[in-house]
């Protein structure tokens, strides 16, 4: 362990090693966000531990770099959200790197990206990157860096040809009939290798407890991209918790279906016993499922200083929750609130989604009815809501479903705001207009290259999207249209499990008339 620049590194590193190959790992956001990004930090660590590759982390707010761009041979971007592309383009321009891969020469680094957005559908971005990592990148990033170093004397296209032969690598300039998504076995517990007071989650040690979600909500990219569900062993989690507590009293447990870990109650009991024995620990966990809420977990959260937590219910009616495969009853929601109150929590924030396929005004009214019932039944228990709007994601059962039009969704937002205010419930809403353009990118294809470039050059504002599309791109086609099941999709060449046949059958099952009936 070594402290450098307000950062505690939990591994042995040498920032001044005399390696003959330089790489930048880039995060499309401020440094504080990067220092709370578990995947970014872990992949940086795996390469930083090697002796023959000199890696430097750079961020959106990096003013100057230790290694000049002309000495950098490889540059990798973390790409977690659709709108990250505009920050990425800004970072390339900041470092005087041509935005299109076709305009780069031997003087420029090879540029690649990985992350959930890329794994789901890299096609809209193929002209900006030299290659992509499809799937879990922890091991593949290191392999890519080593291959590029070993072949650094070869020309760009020859290096890309070599990379294209690696499972999980997509090279747009090399013909590949399919690219298989790489899935990592969780043989190790992945944790925050750098603790910093400058992080967004200040001095917090983050631990990945599991990866994936077996519930498979029809809209959920995080669930389908991370199948099968994988759990880290209890012993490794406990050992990792002990490691983190040597350096900080703040820990966070991460996972899409964290409470489904077969020994999650035991993990919580272990932490609870340490707290009751006098050890100061502040603990948080990612959003919990209502149907897995239990006293043991809540008791631990409260002992660790948490007053509120989040629950994703997505839809107000049981009918619509069945449609999206979130088979959750109102009684289960009330039971979760009972457990929360009885064990010391002060409030919940419920997450919902507007514009889900088959949604009607009755579904919104049932959301309002639920909020009012909780408000009346549990006096003094603080509840609030956070709403986003449905964005169809590639490689999910709802990839064929278009969004509801913007005016209709904005009316729903205003209706919910007004009615929730009447009953004294606070609510936050994502921007419907921004969500629309996120959907355009999510189901985009290679025709969007100039649209993306023009939107970036015109300031990356809502108006710039409209002007960039005018008379050139029908954005409604990407965002609003329902696609026929038999239609070839731009991302079909990505070989993921469970695969397109299963997604088609699951989509038809969820949207079947029987499940949609009240």
Mean pLDDT of 68-97: 96
Question: Is the pLDDT score of 3 beyond 60?
Answer: no
Mean pLDDT of 252-271: 90
Q: Who's near 214: CB < 8 A, 6+ residues apart?
A: 223, 227, 229, 257, 260
Tell me if 446 sits within 8 A of 411, measured CB to CB: no
pLDDT tens digit string along 174-195?
999 999 999 988 888 999 999 9
The better pLDDT of the pair 70, 260 is held by 70
How far is Cα 342 from Cα 355, in angstroms, rounded to an integer?
34
How far is Cα 26 from Cα 141, in angstroms, rounded to an integer?
13
How far is Cα 134 from Cα 115, in angstroms, rounded to an integer?
8
Question: Is the pLDDT score of 358 beyond 90?
Answer: yes
Tell me if 78 sits within 8 A of 26, measured CB to CB: yes
Tell me if 225 sits within 8 A of 195, measured CB to CB: no
How far is CA 28 from each of CA 33, 37, 188, 270, rounded to the nearest angstrom? 9, 11, 27, 37
CA Rg value for the chain: 24
Q: How many CB atoms lie within 10 A of CB 371?
A: 23
What is the model's pLDDT at position 293? 79
Report the range of poorest mean pLDDT among 47-61, 276-290, 399-413: 276-290
Mean pLDDT of 228-257: 93
- Four-residue CA torsion sign, 316, 322, 323, 325: positive
Q: Check residue 133 and give left, alpha or beta (phi > 0: left; psi -120 to 50: alpha).
A: beta
Residues of the chain with CATH 3.40.50.280: 2-180
**DSSP of 457-508, one letter per residue?**
HTTSSHHHHHHHHTTT--HHHHHTPPPPTTS--TTTTEE-SS-HHHHHHHHH
Report the range of poorest mean pLDDT among 90-104, 381-395, 502-516: 502-516
Question: Is the pLDDT score of 5 beyond 70?
Answer: no
Mean pLDDT of 161-178: 95
Using the structure block, give the residue that is written with the tokens 């109102």. Answer: 330
Mean pLDDT of 137-156: 94
The better pLDDT of the pair 379, 120 is held by 120
pLDDT tens digit string along 456-501?
999 989 989 999 988 789 999 999 999 999 999 999 999 998 999 9
SS3 for 417?
helix
CATH of domain 203-306: 3.30.750.210
What is the model's pLDDT at position 518? 41
SS3 for 62?
coil
- Scanning 134-258, the segments in alpha helix (DSSP H) are 138-150, 156-164, 221-225, 234-245
Residues of the chain with CATH 3.30.750.200: 308-518
How buried is residue 443: exposed, middle or buried, by Cβ count under 10 Å (0-12/13-18/19+)? Answer: buried
How far is Cα 165 from Cα 256, in angstroms, rounded to an integer?
32
Helix pair 84-94, 449-457: axis angle to 10 deg: 70
How far is Cα 396 from Cα 502, in angstroms, rounded to an integer?
10
Percent of the chain residues past pLDDT 90, beyond the cut? 80
Give Cα 210 distance to the centre of its chain: 14
Tell me if 304 sits within 8 A of 298, measured CB to CB: no
Question: Is the pLDDT score of 213 beyond 90?
Answer: no
pLDDT tens digit string along 275-334?
999 999 999 887 677 777 788 889 999 999 888 888 888 999 999 999 999 988 999 999
| Fold held by 2-180 | Rossmann fold (3.40.50)
| Fold held by 308-518 | Transcription Regulator spoIIAA (3.30.750)
Percent of the chain residues past pLDDT 70, beyond the cut? 98
For residue 113, give the H/E element and its range. strand 110-114
How far is Cα 350 from Cα 427, in angstroms, rounded to an integer?
9
Mean pLDDT of 22-51: 95
pTM: 0.94
Report the range of poorest mean pLDDT among 11-15, 263-267, 268-272, 431-435: 11-15
């Amino acid at each position: 362990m070594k402290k450098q620049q307000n950062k505690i590194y939990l591994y042995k590193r040498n920032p001044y090693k005399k390696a003959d190959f330089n790489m930048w790992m880039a995060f499309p956001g401020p440094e504080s966000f990067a220092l709370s990004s578990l995947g970014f930090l872990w992949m940086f660590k795996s390469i930083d531990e090697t002796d023959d590759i000199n890696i430097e982390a750079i961020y959106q707010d990096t003013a100057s770099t230790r290694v000049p761009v002309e000495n950098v041979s490889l540059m990798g971007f973390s790409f977690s959200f659709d709108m990250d592309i505009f920050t990425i383009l800004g970072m390339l321009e900041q470092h005087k790197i041509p935005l299109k891969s076709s305009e780069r020469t031997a003087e420029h680094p090879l540029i690649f990206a990985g992350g959930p957005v890329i794994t789901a559908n890299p096609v809209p971005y193929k002209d900006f990157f030299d290659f992509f990592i499809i799937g879990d990148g922890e091991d593949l990033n290191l392999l890519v860096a080593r291959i590029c170093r070993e072949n650094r004397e070869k020309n760009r296209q020859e290096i890309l040809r070599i990379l294209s032969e690696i499972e999980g690598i997509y090279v747009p300039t090399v013909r590949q009939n399919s690219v298989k998504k790489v899935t990592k076995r969780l043989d190790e517990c992945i944790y925050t290798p750098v603790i910093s007071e400058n992080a967004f989650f200040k001095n917090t040690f983050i631990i990945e407890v599991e990866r994936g979600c077996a519930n498979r909500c029809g809209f959920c990219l995080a669930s389908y991209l991370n199948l099968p569900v994988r759990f880290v062993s209890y012993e490794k989690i406990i050992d990792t918790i002990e490691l983190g507590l040597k350096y900080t009293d703040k820990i966070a447990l991460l996972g899409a279906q964290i409470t489904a870990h077969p020994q999650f109650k035991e993990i919580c009991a272990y932490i609870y016993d340490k707290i009751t024995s006098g050890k100061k620990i502040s603990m948080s966990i990612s959003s919990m499922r209502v149907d897995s809420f239990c006293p043991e977990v809540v008791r631990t959260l409260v002992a660790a200083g948490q007053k509120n937590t989040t629950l994703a219910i997505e839809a107000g009616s049981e009918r619509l929750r069945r449609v999206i495969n979130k088979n959750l009853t109102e009684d289960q929601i009330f039971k979760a609130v009972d457990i929360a109150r009885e064990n010391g929590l002060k409030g919940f924030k419920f997450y919902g989604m507007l514009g889900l396929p088959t949604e009607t005004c009755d579904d919104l009214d049932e959301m309002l009815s639920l909020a009012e019932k909780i408000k009346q039944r549990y006096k003094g228990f603080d509840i609030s809501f956070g709403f986003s709007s449905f964005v169809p994601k590639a490689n999910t059962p709802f990839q064929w479903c278009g969004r509801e039009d913007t005016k209709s969704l904005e009316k729903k937002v205003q209706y919910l705001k007004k009615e929730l205010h009447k009953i004294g419930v606070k609510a936050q809403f994502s921007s419907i207009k921004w969500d629309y353009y996120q959907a355009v990118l999510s189901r985009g294809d290679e025709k969007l290259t100039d649209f993306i470039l023009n939107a970036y050059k015109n300031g990356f504002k809502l108006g710039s999207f409209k002007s960039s599309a005018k008379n050139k791109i029908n954005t409604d086609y990407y965002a609003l249209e329902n696609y026929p099941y038999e239609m070839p999709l731009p991302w079909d060449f990505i070989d993921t499990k469970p695969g397109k046949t299963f997604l088609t059958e699951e989509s038809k099952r969820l949207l079947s008339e029987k499940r949609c009936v009240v």
